């Protein structure tokens, strides 16, 4: 992409009256922006900011508008007043945010909902229609907590993971081409602003506060001025859909989630590399590969420091010539023996322990996918939809047994993705553990149908003592209990009507479980919807509901009422948490957030004090109503055509596998 010229542009900055937001405004004016609009909740700070701007740049360069970004009407008023005053609007910096897990519902409303409202207003209306040049730009401010676990503020980390998911999904070329608005993101490192300096006790309690000085001591602080300068280069140069890290006052670097569908070709020949890329693109579509020239230092640098999970992997390709004499090619034999020799010592536990260089399911047809028709932002979005039925998919009964494997074997804090339904293979992971399901009591939210029902069935097949189905549908709950009784006999399951967004209703599920079965060992946070047309409710169920479950299980009921040495919480994410998905950016955000929550709550420190493992799995395309009834549940027709991309994914088939049944 070409350079985005800041000169003569009009920019809105949320949270712009202080901290980094104010520094962004000042740097934009230094770059000869026409004007900045400070949208902030504090009139006092806004007045001081305007005085500073007027002193440095003169009059008519800035206005302040008191704004609560969680209010769509107030946020829209900012755009309307900007256009009324300056005739145009070119840039939106979604900077407003708080780091305070003690008020986590408010934190989600500001950090996630506020960002979505800004994008919808800017991308779909005001910047698209009122930009002064050929391009507009939306910059979403995430955090380094949006790309790595932060155990002392796991919910804050979840919100910033969500911003990452929003950015790469709304930044896809198809959205840019129809709006000419770039959507990019930045992850500032630890920056000396009130957000950081006023951190004590802005968490979930003493156990979390103990972790704050430890984790804060691991990051390098930077001043807001130097961070803001670097962010200007992101605004000017970043392609749409990219996320950039600005840390330690150094130049920004691009952070890219490993493409679960992609390959990287490293070769000395640009010509052969280009030919290979053309072949791969002709077969699998664009943006699934790349060519790197040179040596990639995985063990002691890039994989060690930039792996997406707890472990990375280096596969050294040897040959049969590396285990037996071949007279024809003695030199080749020597190199392959050498590869064998390198692999054995570098693969020793000592190197693994210091680097962690050494698996997450695919797209599954559920009601989440199948019931999205007519639930989009506006009618013209629907034209982007394709039919999921066109793709080879998997059934929930195929997926569920492998989810049970994750329950039994996954270490705390890990996210599991399944490219094909048999990909979880615990025999090859030294870090795998063992959790015995037999005799355990499990709660499954959203457990009356779809994948949730099949998780419950598989748990009982594994001789779980009982399952508790928590769901909003009493009718489906009754049918599920009848099925359990037919297959497993009486007293193996109960149904409790529960809305997971209601903390008291969710807590009642735990209390009823304990009064009925005396224990609770497992929580599967499965309840979720796939419907961006009601995105506020989607966030409440998918994200707030998951947080309610983790807080109740980790900090109280599973911790105190588990029957054995360990308890387990399994958060159900989605394949949409592993790559940009233009069809449902709001849904993507919730599933990215679950990734962040799981990584942060799954750290060793939380496990050691609770003896509850927190893990996650990202099911692929599974045949449930979530998938089959998904048409028209997007932000509108312009989004629906992204459904065609489902046909390009390596989906899991209904039957057949190259894996053993116990993989």
What are the residue numbers of the active site? 587
User: Exposed, middle or buried by CB within 10 Å (0-12, 13-18, 19+), for 489?
Assistant: exposed
What separation in angstroms does the CA of 422 have from each of 25, 36, 319, 550, 648?
51, 53, 26, 28, 19
- Give the H or E element holding residue 443: strand 441-445
At CA 428, angle to CA 426 and CA 431, rounded to 5?
70
User: Exposed, middle or buried by CB within 10 Å (0-12, 13-18, 19+), for 66?
Assistant: middle
CA distance 90 to 136: 5
User: Exposed, middle or buried by CB within 10 Å (0-12, 13-18, 19+), for 594?
Assistant: buried
Both tokens of residue 320? 């049969």
At CA 464, angle to CA 492 and CA 619, rounded to 5?
105
Over 448-501, what HEC string results? CCHHHHHHHHHHHHCCCCEEEEEECCHHHHHHHHHHHHHHHCCCCEEEEECCCC
CA distance 186 to 623: 36
CA distance 118 to 15: 12
CA distance 269 to 271: 5
At residue 84, φ and ψ (nearest 5 deg) are -60, -40
In which residue are the tokens 């198809």 written? 174
CA distance 165 to 494: 36
The residues pairing with 290 across neighbouring beta strands, listed in sequence order, are 264
CA distance 202 to 208: 9
- Give the H or E element holding residue 39: strand 35-40
Residue 38 and residue 63 in contact, taking contact as beta carbons nearer than 8 Å: yes
Both tokens of residue 109? 């409303």
Residue 596's contacts (CB-CB under 8 Å, 6 or more residues apart) are: 145, 146, 149, 154, 157, 158, 159, 160, 161, 162
What separation in angstroms does the CA of 222 have from each of 187, 202, 228, 246, 331?
13, 21, 10, 9, 52
CA distance 204 to 231: 31
At CA 177, angle to CA 288 and CA 133, rounded to 5?
135
CA distance 226 to 239: 22
């Amino acid at each position: 992409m070409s350079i985005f010229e800041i000169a003569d542009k009009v920019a809105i900055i949320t949270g712009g009256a202080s901290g980094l937001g104010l520094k962004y405004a000042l740097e934009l004016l230094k770059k000869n922006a026409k004007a900045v609009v400070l949208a902030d909740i504090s009139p006092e700070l806004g007045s001081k900011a305007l005085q500073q701007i007027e002193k440095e740049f003169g009059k008519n360069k800035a206005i302040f508008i008191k704004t609560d970004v969680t209010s769509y009407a107030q946020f829209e008023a900012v755009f309307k007043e900007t256009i009324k005053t300056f005739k145009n609007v070119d840039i939106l910096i979604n900077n407003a945010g708080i780091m305070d897990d003690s008020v986590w519902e408010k934190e989600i409303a500001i950090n996630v909902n506020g960002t979505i409202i800004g994008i919808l207003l800017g991308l779909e209306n005001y910047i698209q229609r009122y930009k002064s040049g050929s391009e507009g730009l939306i910059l979403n401010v995430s955090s380094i907590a949006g790309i790595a676990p932060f155990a002392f503020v796991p919910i804050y980390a979840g919100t910033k993971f969500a911003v990452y998911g929003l950015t790469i999904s709304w930044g896809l070329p198809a959205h840019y081409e129809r709006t000419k608005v770039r959507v990019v993101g930045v992850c500032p490192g630890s920056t000396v602003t009130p957000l950081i300096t006023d951190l004590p006790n802005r968490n979930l309690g003493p156990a979390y506060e103990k972790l704050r000085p430890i984790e804060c001591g691991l990051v390098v602080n930077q001043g807001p001025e130097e961070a803001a300068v670097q962010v200007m280069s992101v605004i000017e140069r970043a392609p749409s859909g990219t996320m950039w890290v600005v840390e330690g006052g150094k130049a920004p670097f691009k952070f890219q989630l490993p493409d679960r569908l992609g390959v990287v070709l490293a070769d000395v020949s640009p010509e052969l590399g280009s030919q290979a890329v053309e072949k791969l693109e002709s077969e699998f579509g664009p943006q699934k590969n790349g060519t790197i020239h040179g040596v990639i230092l995985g063990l002691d640098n890039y994989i060690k420091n930039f792996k997406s999970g707890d472990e990375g992997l280096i596969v050294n390709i040897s040959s049969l010539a590396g285990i037996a004499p071949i007279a024809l090619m003695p030199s080749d034999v020597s190199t392959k023996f050498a590869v064998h020799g390198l692999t054995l010592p570098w693969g020793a536990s000592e190197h693994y322990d210091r680097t962690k260089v050494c698996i997450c399911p695919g797209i599954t047809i559920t009601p989440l996918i199948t019931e999205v028709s007519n639930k989009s932002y506006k009618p013209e979005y629907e034209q982007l939809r394709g039919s999921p039925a066109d793709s080879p998919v998997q059934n929930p009964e195929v997926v569920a047994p492998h989810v049970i494997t994750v329950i039994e074997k996954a270490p705390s804090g890990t996210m599991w993705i399944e490219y094909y339904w048999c990909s979880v293979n615990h025999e090859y992971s030294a870090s795998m553990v063992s959790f015995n399901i037999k005799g355990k009591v499990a709660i499954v939210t959203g457990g009356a149908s779809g994948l949730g029902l099949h998780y419950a069935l598989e748990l009982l097949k594994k001789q779980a003592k009982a399952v508790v189905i928590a769901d909003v549908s009493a009718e489906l709950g009754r049918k599920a209990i009848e099925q359990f009784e037919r297959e497993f006999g009486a007293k193996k399951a109960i149904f409790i009507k529960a809305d997971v967004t209601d903390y008291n209703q969710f807590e009642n599920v735990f209390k009823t479980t304990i009064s009925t079965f005396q224990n609770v060992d497992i929580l599967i946070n499965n309840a979720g919807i796939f419907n961006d047309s009601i995105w506020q409710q989607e966030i409440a169920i998918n994200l707030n509901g998951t947080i309610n479950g983790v807080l109740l299980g980790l900090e109280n009921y599973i911790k105190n009422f588990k029957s054995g040495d360990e308890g387990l919480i399994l958060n159900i994410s989605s394949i949409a948490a592993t790559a940009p998905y233009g069809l449902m950016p709001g849904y993507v955000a919730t599933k990215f957030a679950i990734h962040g929550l799981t990584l942060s709550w799954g750290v060793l420190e939380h496990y050691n004090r609770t003896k509850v493992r927190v893990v996650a799995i990202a099911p692929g395309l599974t045949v449930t109503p979530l998938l089959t009834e998904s048409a028209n549940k997007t932000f509108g027709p312009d989004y629906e055509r992204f459904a065609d991309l489902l046909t390009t994914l390596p989906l899991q088939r209904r039957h057949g596998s190259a894996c053993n049944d116990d993989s």
